[in-house]
Amino acid sequence: VALGGLSLVRAARDPEPPAVLPTATASPFVPPTPAPGAEYAEELAYVYDAVAEGDTVQVTVEPLRTARGGATPTGEVHTLTLPRGTPVEARRLSGGNPADLRLDELLDRLAAGRKWAFAIDYDGEGRVHSLREAYWLGD
């Protein structure tokens, strides 16, 4: 018992290494804000890697820069977690006819890599209101 008590005293004297608290990494993504008088702000981006998680869908978003009638990725990527029922205006995704769909109806087509470009509409609170297929950009 004396040896056990001695080892406890010795252990108490040795300083503990300082605790290293994890630091939160802030996402560099800032949702666009609507211009004065506008209801929504737009982000043009590829949307892919859709994964359903309960009542939500997580997607990868790769913003696009438009130039000379085309679009190129900016190299920045972020993720969004959206309600399954997020409205999606589609054209090519719906077989060539304009249609109003829900995000969860497109999971199989958005699960793969980047193919489909969308205009993502953000409200003044930074929430996604809807996605509109940017069919004019092509595959």
Q: Supply the pLDDT for residue 22.
A: 42
Q: Supply the pLDDT for residue 137.
A: 75
The tens digit of pLDDT for each residue in 101-138 reads: 999 999 999 998 889 999 999 999 999 999 999 987 75
Whether residue 33 has pLDDT greater than 50: yes
Task: Give the C-alpha separation, 64 to 117, whole Å.
Answer: 8
The pTM (predicted TM-score) of the whole model is 0.76
Whether residue 1 has pLDDT greater than 70: no
Q: Supply the pLDDT for residue 7.
A: 52
> Token pair 């920045």 is at which residue?
76
The DSSP H or E segment spanning 43 is strand 41-53
Q: Supply the pLDDT for residue 27.
A: 60
Would you state the structure tokens that stand for residue 33, as one six-digit string? 């804000």
Q: Supply the pLDDT for residue 116.
A: 93
Task: Give the C-alpha separation, 114 to 64, whole Å.
Answer: 11
Task: Give the C-alpha separation, 49 to 83, whole Å.
Answer: 15
Find the Cα–Cα–Cα–Cα dihedral 111, 134, 130, 32, rounded to 10°: 100
Whether residue 74 has pLDDT greater than 50: yes
Would you state the structure tokens that stand for residue 52, as one six-digit string? 């359903």
Q: Supply the pLDDT for residue 21.
A: 44
**pLDDT mean across residues, the chain:** 84
Question: Do the Cβ atoms of 131 and 120 come closer than 8 Å?
Answer: yes
Task: Give the C-alpha separation, 120 to 42, whole Å.
Answer: 5
Task: Give the C-alpha separation, 131 to 122, whole Å.
Answer: 9
